[in-house]
Copies of this chain bind each other. A is one copy, B any other.
Amino acid sequence: NIIAVIYKVENRELPLKNKKVLITAGPTQEPVDTVRFFTNYSSGKMGYALAEVAKNLGAQVTLVSGPVDLDVLPGVETIKISSADEMFEAVTSRFDEQDIVIKSAAVADYRPKDVHDKKLKKQGHDITVELERTTDILSTLGERKNHQYLVGFAAETDQHLEHGKRKLQKKNLDAIVINDISNPNIGFKSDDNEVNILTKTGQEYAISTRSKKEIAQELLTLIMKDMMGEAK
């Protein structure tokens, strides 16, 4: 790929060589019973694009992926999970040794309180499903982090910049990527996206509509710049 070629031509080391990068991708599935579950429209494309670009930049990449319809990436250690609980376990158990963690997965905030081990029979009347909060993985990582550069994603339908900025601070992130999901042409299943990126160091970037692969390249470039700035 182009980035790798450029660095090779210039006879430099790949910029993320010897760096460990963990990326999460896709939705989670939260079972109601043996056949039904709650989930969301995340396609995993943004996370897979990030994993591929990070690998091409020389990183040792771990991709923790929910159920998606995407090909496995060669050279990327991929861990498949299904529920928010499994995502929590897979990410927190590998967090300490990472240099960069990018949580692009759309992990369920809520899961059914009772999971039935048989398929629920139909009843004539309405029913209610009680949902409880899942453990907030991003907050957990924000509290635990020491040297890691931690990036979160926010999908917002209104006041997306304000909501995103609040999330950046509250969860002790180094950067946040904000999707304005009120625009139906971008995000989720689409190959394209349009995002705003804010960093803890106060930088703000608006990235206009382009492919998720290009956004992945921009984001990783910004992360590397920001990490070098902090190291000064």
Contacts and interface: CB of A to CB of B under 8 A. Distances in A.
Contacts of A42: 35
Interface residues of A, number: 36
Interface in A43-81: 69
A196 interface: no
Interface pairs A-B: 3 shortest CB-CB: A118-B157, A128-B128, A69-B69
Interface in A111-128: 113, 118-119, 122, 124-128
A114 to B, nearest CB: 12
A126 B129 CA distance: 11
B126 A188 contact: no
A192 interface: no
Contacts of A109: 122
A49 to B, nearest CB: 19
Given A126-B131, A181-B119, A32 B38 contact: yes
Contact of A122 (B122, B133, B181): B133
A21 interface: no
Interface string A128-139: 111111000000
Interface string A92-111: 00000000000000101110
A35 B40 CA distance: 5
Interface string A161-180: 00000000000000000000
Contacts of A110: 127
A113 B126 contact: yes
A34 interface: yes
B35 A119 contact: no
